[in-house]
């Protein structure tokens, strides 16, 4: 069965559900970032969601649409943390059993949150894709409703509701920059923005260490990486997926890559300039804005701060990396 992207009308329907459970997140104008980047910079603060990340929108909408039979069987999914939290949060909301498969080295803050929300957490594999394979085997063996982290139109429709909120407050952005892991966020954003105004530029961001969606987009085919690494677990996937890649190729204007060092600098800059905590993935939009700065001059730019679930140890490390770079003399 061919998966079809959600329509703009489906995202409007999703908003009617999501707003019952989640208040809109702020869209903050940043004078400091605007001055540094020579453009009007607005930050969509999805880090302020109950789970600290945008994905909760997709979880709430998808579980709201499950049949009584699916709810009775329970759901299972794989995640490096934020998607798993979203499913755990929504499962508790709707009284559904949830099982989350996660890599063995998953962020402990995210693990604790999933367990606190009542999910059964299974740690297995070196990375997301190994955990996903084990998850799919469990779903098939026990007849559970398997929730894919990307090939789910209802997830994309749910997370696309933050793009509607952006337009409620800023009807005429020029550029929206979105972190890309599996791709649900950038897909929902692009569907909304391109429907309302095709001239709005949508840019996705991946890391140089895990560029599978970027390379798949560039080469026009689904790819899988043998290896790769990044500290930003929300961007750490080795496999590109059919539905998001199709939407990205149709609607997203550009994908770019940033380094882990640039993510560290952006984490610190969000903290100092906007007084918000960003995890590695959440900081990707700001890192990309610096790379794109000459193209952004004079424009209205929205940065999606997609999540803020960072451990104290990772934050301290990121600050040390950023400080070390700042201390190096310019070439």
Tens digit of each residue's pLDDT (9 = 90 or more) over 58-108: 999 999 999 999 999 999 999 988 999 999 999 999 999 999 999 998 889
What per-residue confidence (pLDDT) applies to 8? 98
The rounded mean pLDDT for the chain is 95
pLDDT, one tens digit per residue, over 150-204 is: 899 999 999 999 999 999 999 999 999 999 999 999 999 999 999 999 999 999 9
Does residue 2 register a pLDDT over 90? Answer: no
Contacts of 81 (CB under 8 A, 6+ apart): 102, 106, 107, 109, 110, 111, 113, 114, 233, 234, 309
What per-residue confidence (pLDDT) applies to 213? 97
Q: Is the full-model pTM beyond 0.85?
A: yes
Give the percent of the chain with pLDDT over 90.
Answer: 90
Instruction: List the catalytic residue out of 44, 55, 110, 194.
Output: 55
329 pLDDT tier (thresholds 50, 70, 90): low
SS (H, E, C) the chain: CCCCCCCHHHHHHHHHHHHHHCCCCCEEECHHHHHHHCCEEEEEEHHHCCCCECCHHHHHHHHHCCCHHHHHHCEEEECCCHHHHHHHHHHHHHCCCEEEEECCCCCHHHHHHHHHCCCEEEECCCCHHHHHHHHHHHHHHHCCEEECCCCCHHHHHHHCHHHHHHHHHCCCCCEEEEECCCCHHHHHHHHHHHHHCCCCEEEEEEECCECHHHHHHHHCCCCECCCCCCCCHHHCCCECCHHHHHHHHHHCCEEEEECHHHHHHHHHHHHHHHCCCCCCCCCHHHHHHHHCHHHHCCCEEEEEECECCCCHHHHHHHHHHHHHHHHCCCC
| Angle, helix 242-251 to helix 184-196, in steps of 10 degrees | 30
pLDDT, one tens digit per residue, over 4-22 is: 999 999 999 999 999 999 9
Does residue 327 register a pLDDT over 90? Answer: no
Does residue 331 register a pLDDT over 70? Answer: no
Q: Is 306 an annotated catalytic residue?
A: yes
How far is Cα 296 from Cα 174, in angstroms, rounded to an integer?
9
Token couple for 102 = 């996660």
Instruction: List the catalytic residue out of 149, 216, 285, 306.
Output: 306
Contacts of 96 (CB under 8 A, 6+ apart): 63, 66, 71, 74, 75, 90
Read off the pLDDT of each residue in 109-115 and give the average, rounded to a whole number: 93
Does residue 52 register a pLDDT over 70? Answer: yes
């Amino acid at each position: 069965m061919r998966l079809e992207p959600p329509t703009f009308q489906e995202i409007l329907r999703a908003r009617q559900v999501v707003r019952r459970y989640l208040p809109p997140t702020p869209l903050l104008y940043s004078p400091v970032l605007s001055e540094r980047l020579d453009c009007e910079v607005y930050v969509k603060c999805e880090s302020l969601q109950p789970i600290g990340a945008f994905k909760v929108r997709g979880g709430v909408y998808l579980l709201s649409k499950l049949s009584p039979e699916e709810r009775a069987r329970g759901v299972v999914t794989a995640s490096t943390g934020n998607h798993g939290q979203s499913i755990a949060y929504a499962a508790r909301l709707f009284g559904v059993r949830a099982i989350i498969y996660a890599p063995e080295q998953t962020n402990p803050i995210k693990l604790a949150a999933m367990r606190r929300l009542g999910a059964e957490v299974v740690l297995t594999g070196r990375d997301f894709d190994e955990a996903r394979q084990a998850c799919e085997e469990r779903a098939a063996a026990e007849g559970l409703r398997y929730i894919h982290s990307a090939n789910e139109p209802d997830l994309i429709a749910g997370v696309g509701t933050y793009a509607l909120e952006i337009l409620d407050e800023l009807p005429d952005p020029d550029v929206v920059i979105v972190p890309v892991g599996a791709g649900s966020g950038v897909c929902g954003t692009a569907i909304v923005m391109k429907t309302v105004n095709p001239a709005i530029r949508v840019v996705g961001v991946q890391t140089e260490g895990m560029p599978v969606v970027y390379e798949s987009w560039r080469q026009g085919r689904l790819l899988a990486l043998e290896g790769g690494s990044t500290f930003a677990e929300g961007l750490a996937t080795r496999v590109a997926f059919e539905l998001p890649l199709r939407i990205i190729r149709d609607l997203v204007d550009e994908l770019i890559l940033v380094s882990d060092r640039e993510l560290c600098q952006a984490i610190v800059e969000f903290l100092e300039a906007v007084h918000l905590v960003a995890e590695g993935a959440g900081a990707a939009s700001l890192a990309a804005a610096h790379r794109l700065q000459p193209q952004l001059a004079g424009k209205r730019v929205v940065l999606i701060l997609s999540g803020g679930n960072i451990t104290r140890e990772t934050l301290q490390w990121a600050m040390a990396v950023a400080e070390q770079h700042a201390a190096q003399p310019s070439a």
